[in-house]
Amino acid sequence: MTIKIYYTTVTGSREVKTHQNAVTQALDSKGIKYELVDISQDSSLRDDMRSKCGKPTAMPPQIFNEEQYCGDYTQFAEAVEDDAVEQFLKLA
């Protein structure tokens, strides 16, 4: 199973940058491997991310386990707070 994080390297939003860093830092601290998918490299990746999560205006980071949608930053942050990251990522 591969955890995929859709993110962007090109954003003027401090909030998006902060959320992306928080997700990767939390996963790194738990030793959970993940793949980063940079939606700024190709607009079809952004469209794919939005289609998969069912939100036409979704902003990164969006988190998936393979092709299964796990959630966005807010849901991830709640899982971290509840010590339920593995369940959120559908690993447990």
List the domains of the chain with CATH numbers.
3-88 (3.40.30.10)
Query: Which amino acid is located at 2 in the chain?
Result: T
- pLDDT at residue 71, as a whole number: 98
- Strand (E) positions, the chain? 3-7, 34-38, 62-65, 68-72
Q: Mean pLDDT of successive 10-residue segments in the chain (92 residues)?
A: 94 95 97 97 95 96 97 98 97 87
CA dist 37 and 39 (Å) reads: 6
**Nearest C-alpha neighbor of 62 from the set 80, 37, 82, 84:** 37
CA dist 84 and 59 (Å) reads: 23
- pLDDT at residue 92, as a whole number: 80
- pLDDT at residue 1, as a whole number: 75
